[in-house]
Amino acid sequence: MVTVTILWTPEAVEATLAAQGIVLAPGRAERLARAHQALLEASAADPLRAALAFDADPTGFLPAMQKCR
């Protein structure tokens, strides 16, 4: 399994949303970047996430969802 560190910066948030035609108010990109980064860090530390098959194999999504029922 390959792990990639993703860092959300205000510039990355602005560029991503601008590509979709969304303009943010001043200061909003910084708040969104902090929120996204906090979610990424929280999910990286989740021990249950490592057990989900669809992280390793895209075709494993449906079987993983059936296990959750």
Distance CA 8, CA 29 (A): 10
The range of the structural domain enclosing residue 41 comes to 10-67
pLDDT score for 41: 81
Distance CA 52, CA 66 (A): 11
Number of structural domains in the chain? 1
Q: Could you tell me if residue 3 is inside a domain? A: no
Q: Could you tell me if residue 5 is inside a domain? A: no
Between 47 and 22, where is the model more confident?
22
Q: Could you tell me if residue 20 is inside a domain? A: yes
pLDDT score for 1: 46
Q: Could you tell me if residue 55 is inside a domain? A: yes
pLDDT score for 39: 84
Q: Could you tell me if residue 63 is inside a domain? A: yes
pLDDT score for 64: 75
pLDDT score for 44: 73
pLDDT tens profile 26-61: 999 999 999 988 888 877 777 776 676 655 656 667
Q: Could you tell me if residue 2 is inside a domain? A: no
